[in-house]
Amino acid sequence: MVTETTNKLVLQGTTAYYENLVPDVANRLKSDELVFLHDILPGNCQYNCLKCFSESSDVYSGQLKERGLSSKHMDKNRLFHEAYENGVRSIIVPGAGEPLISPELNNVIKICSDLGLRLIVFTNGLLLDRKKAEEYFSKGVSVVLSLDSISAENYDKLTRSCGNFNRVLKNLESALDLSDKYAAIHNGYKAVPLAVNTNPTILTFNSSKNEIDDIHQLVLGRAAHFVSHLTPNGNARLFWKQLVGNDGFSQNPVLKEAEKRYAVGLGGSSRRKDGKCAYIYNGVVQFDGYWMACPNMGLIADFGRYPEVSIEQHFSIKKRFLNEKNNPSCLTRD
């Protein structure tokens, strides 16, 4: 039975999961040691969302070409083994492009399962039908589904698509039911395999409309709800005024209030208890054989490429880079 204390939802494999439920990994987080690997899978997306930080993984490919670099085939098995040996315990597959249409995803799932690595996959939910959700959850895969609106009209505007809302909502309902089925109670926490990620905009949260509450009520008790302000990167920078309401790329306090009011799941997926982003202080990011400073920056860093520069070497270089930046809590917000 779920009590009031077990209503502290935590997505399996995230920062909060380790900080609250896995003491040895929690100690690694506190010591700024490796815990996460972001593995960005090349590919496109069915949408071209107004908020998208990357405009699909094509933006990263374009940066490689600008530098005269070509993609380097990744041996995922080798990469993940090296990651595990260096302390990585979660593989994150972010939504730079839609991971569920990547031909590499099934192999990533298998390797993670074989190594005992937690896998977190971000998705727009369009292909996450009940069968696929059951397959993922049964294999220990956690899913973060993006949903910024509960109305078909606004959903179409935000995703720049047409007619997909009802399908995504049906998929979400199935995933929520299955999330509850695969949830586990640990030490007063409810560990779930599903989170819904919402970025409030002035289209969905204003003086006359509160779609965030509708999403929150739908999610409540069955999945974590990550609610966070947009960062001015990629498409979001181009459409900032339309989304946030100002020209200066500053945060909208009304939208920030929604983040404080509705986020459930012990903060966002990356935020540590000390407020710093675990994905930069405890993580490495790679795309097409090249290291990146942060998956949300859209910048290919001059850190060499795999395997010429190892995970351990890249991580050391990035720590020096963060020191030079006076150790910000987040590279994209500070």
Alpha-carbon distance 176 to 77, whole Å? 31
> 332 in a domain, yes or no?
no
> What is the share, in percent, of the chain residues with pLDDT greater than 70?
92
DSSP string over 186-233 = ETTEEEESEEEEE---TTTEETTEEHHHHHHHHHTTTSEEEE----S-
The domain tally of the chain equals 1
Q: In this model, does residue 86 exceed pLDDT 70?
A: yes
> 267 in a domain, yes or no?
yes
Report which of 138, 142, 146 is spatially closest to residue 98, judged by C-alpha positions. Answer: 146
Residue 325: the pLDDT is 87
> 11 in a domain, yes or no?
yes
Residue 304: the pLDDT is 67
Residue 278: the pLDDT is 94
Q: In this model, does residue 67 exceed pLDDT 90?
A: no
- The type of residue at 265 is G
> What is the share, in percent, of the chain residues with pLDDT greater than 90?
66
CA end-to-end span of the chain, whole Å? 41
- The type of residue at 89 is R
> 109 in a domain, yes or no?
yes
CATH number for the domain spanning 279: value is 3.20.20.70
> 329 in a domain, yes or no?
no
Alpha-carbon distance 162 to 47, whole Å? 10
Average pLDDT, stretch 16-37?
96
Boundaries of domain holding 152: 5-324
- Residues in contact with 26: Cβ distance below 8 Å, sequence separation at least 6, in sequence order: 18, 19, 20
Task: Give tens-digit pLDDT for 272-300.
Answer: 999 899 999 999 999 888 888 887 765 56
- From 63-67, 172-176, 186-190, 322-326, the region with the lowest mean pLDDT: 63-67
Q: In this model, does residue 53 exceed pLDDT 70?
A: yes
Per-residue tokens: 85: 């040996």
> 69 in a domain, yes or no?
yes
Average pLDDT, stretch 9-32?
96
* Local confidence band at 49 (pLDDT 50, 70, 90 cut-offs): very high
